[in-house]
Amino acid sequence: MGLRILSVIRQVLDAEESVRIKDGMVDPSSSKLVLDTMDEYGLEEALRIRDAQPETEVVALAVGPARCEEALRTALAIGADRAILVETFEPLDVITVGNVAAQVARKEQSDLIFCGGQEADWDSQAFGAAIAEYLNWPQLTWTTALNLEGRTLTGTHDIDEGTESFSVELPAVITTQQGLCEPRYPTLPNIMKARKKELRRESFESFGLHSRLKFIRSEIQVKERMRRIVDGKDGSAAAQQLVEFLRNETRVIG
């Protein structure tokens, strides 16, 4: 039997979209939503493993509202074999979602899990580590290169001040980021095929869990800026003005 890879994804606001707030909560109902690019790198790594070892199965998982189906269809069009949506409208904290993903991974008998290092919706870096802890697996976060030989995964990843090369035996949770690889695009035939691929729905209620955090209020934070924009055709004069500005407005230069 080949490897079973779980690619955990989030559906997030397109980076170009502006945020809308309604009744103190982020309201994405009229915004363009996409599969988070942070998650695409992990999906791509999973597909590369399957390219080399065709008996590998790649399953995409999302935990969220029904509209996450679109992001899962994108993952299927990019190349995932099948998809699972754990449906809920309740806003959930990352530890609880990690618990759900870990339970799905156990049922699916996954060997390797990919997820984004910090998805653009909840700005959380905790997802991969939470899944790994629930499964009692090792984790590698912020990976920048990966290579699988048998069940030994080697690669590099970012640490606080620098980088590490590592080696780990599967199973493991890997978090991904831009620069790890160049994700492939869905092709038209694959988009057509994706519609027929299996997408299984499960209800969050069946997991018997509740959010550990209460979400009280969201507010858009805009810092007022002076927006003093000047022309810099005369480089020397512009430099002089800036130095004066810094001397007047900041104490960082004398």
Interaction residues for other proteins, span 81-110 (CB under 8 A)? 93-95, 98-99
Residue type, 88: T
Residue selected from 109, 203, 206, 240 as contacting other proteins according to rule CB under 8 A: 240
Tell me which residues in 5-24 interact with other proteins (CB under 8 A).
13, 15-16, 19, 21
Stretch that binds other proteins, among 58-66, 71-79, 132-140, 197-205 (CB under 8 A): 132-140
Stretch that binds other proteins, among 51-59, 138-146, 183-191, 196-204 (CB under 8 A): 138-146
x/- string (CB under 8 A) for other proteins, residues 44-63? --------------------
Structure token pair of residue 70:
């679109």
Residue type, 216: I
> Smallest gap, in angstroms, from Cβ of residue 90 to other proteins?
14
Q: Pick the closer one to other proteins by CB: 95 or 112.
A: 95
Stretch that binds other proteins, among 44-52, 77-85, 190-198, 222-230 (CB under 8 A): 222-230
Cα dihedral value 155, 48, 191, 73, nearest 10: -40
Cβ–Cβ under 8 Å, residues 137 and 174: no
By CB under 8 A, is residue 195 in contact with other proteins?
no
Strand partners, 84: 61, 200
By CB under 8 A, is residue 204 in contact with other proteins?
no
> Smallest gap, in angstroms, from Cβ of residue 101 to other proteins?
12
- Residue 101 and residue 121: Cα distance in Å, rounded? 17
The three-state secondary structure class of 67 is helix
Q: Exposed, middle or buried: residue 166 (CB in 10 Å: 0-12, 13-18, 19+)?
A: middle
By CB under 8 A, is residue 223 in contact with other proteins?
yes
C-alpha angle 199/201/206, rounded to 5°?
Answer: 155
By CB under 8 A, is residue 164 in contact with other proteins?
yes
Task: Indicate the pairing of strand 162-169 with strand 152-159.
Answer: antiparallel
By CB under 8 A, is residue 236 in contact with other proteins?
yes
